[in-house]
Amino acid sequence: MRLEEFCSRFQAFLEQTPETNQIFKTGEQLVREVLDDNQWFGEILRKLISDPSFSEGQTPSVFANEVALYRSPDRLFSVLAYIWEPHTLWEIHDHSSWGIIGSLLRPMREVRYRRLDDGRLEGYAELEEVSSRMIEPGGTSRVLPLDKGIHQTGSATDQFSISLGIYGRSIRKGYFQLFAPSEKKVVRAYPPKLFKQILAIRALKSAPDLWAKELSAASSASLPEYLTKEF
């Protein structure tokens, strides 16, 4: 199945407002079909290399290896690809929505974690590894939002691999979380553009006597919850 057909069929399916279990059951079937015929991804690589409009249209992401393939106009879902260098695993992270991930080219590794603390202490997280498995080309895995979907993914071989991720509507806006189990730490990760706003807020807070007026104006503005928390 070509990417265009997949996106059209997945859109029509989600418009039926299926339950989460049905999203995974039917969604994985559709994802396996688009993974089964990966010839279409060669055109994506060509565009990344030689089509300036395609490259410039990519939304800056915390994940440097992320390639945005499709975002539905009504934000029901997005389709993202990840190009993994050999034996490279991304940091342990959570998600803001349900997701279906699959291996498009060569095996990928997925390590899942369970959070042991209650999340009330800012910056603290205690994790326990619960599984580690190889996802072969054409295979899929399910991701749940927030603490139920903490995992680590990446290449499982000494060659480049490519994975596909289909993610639903976000239930938490603005950021996701990165975990460091050995240090029992968790930090928020923001997209580059949003992170500049975060830095501006932190800079204002660092010198309130110098920029008190600006700090008051910024703090009283109508800002999203994840920005007001910074104050």
CATH code of the domain in which 20 resides: 2.60.120.10
pLDDT digits over 10-55, tens only?
Answer: 999 999 999 999 999 999 999 999 999 889 999 999 999 999 999 8
Angle between helix 192-206 and 212-220 (nearest 10): 130
Q: Are residues 223 and 162 in the same domain?
A: no
Read off the pLDDT of residues 167-207 as tens digits, 9 standing for 90 and up: 999 999 889 999 999 999 999 999 888 899 889 888 888 87
pLDDT at 200: 86
> What's the structural domain count of the chain?
2
The answer to whether residues 51 and 163 belong to one domain is yes
Query: Same domain, yes or no, for 120 and 146?
Result: yes
Same domain flag for 130 and 171: yes
Whether 89 and 143 map to the same domain: the answer is yes
% of the chain surpassing 70 pLDDT:
95
Q: Are residues 177 and 197 in the same domain?
A: no
> Same structural domain for residues 43 and 79?
yes
pLDDT at residue number 224: 80
Rounded average pLDDT over 1-7: 95
Say if residue 179 is in the same domain as residue 220. no
**Picking from 21-30, 78-87, 209-218, which range would have the lowest pLDDT averaged per residue?**
209-218
Same domain, residue pair 72 and 42: yes
For the segment 124-151, the average pLDDT, to the nearest whole number, is 97
Shared domain check, 134 and 102: yes
**Highest averaged pLDDT of the listed ranges 38-42, 92-96, 214-218, 223-227:** 92-96
Under the phi-then-psi rule, with left for phi > 0, alpha for psi from -120 to 50, and beta for the rest, what region is 97? beta
Range of the domain at 199: 193-228
pLDDT band, very low/low/confident/very high, at 130 (cuts 50, 70, 90):
very high
Q: Count CB atoms within 10 A of the CB of residue 107.
A: 17
Same domain, 21 and 82: yes
Query: What are phi and psi for residue 227, nearest 5 degrees?
Result: -90, -40
Q: What's the whole-model pTM score?
A: 0.89
Q: Are residues 152 and 200 in the same domain?
A: no
Q: What is the mean pLDDT of the chain?
A: 92
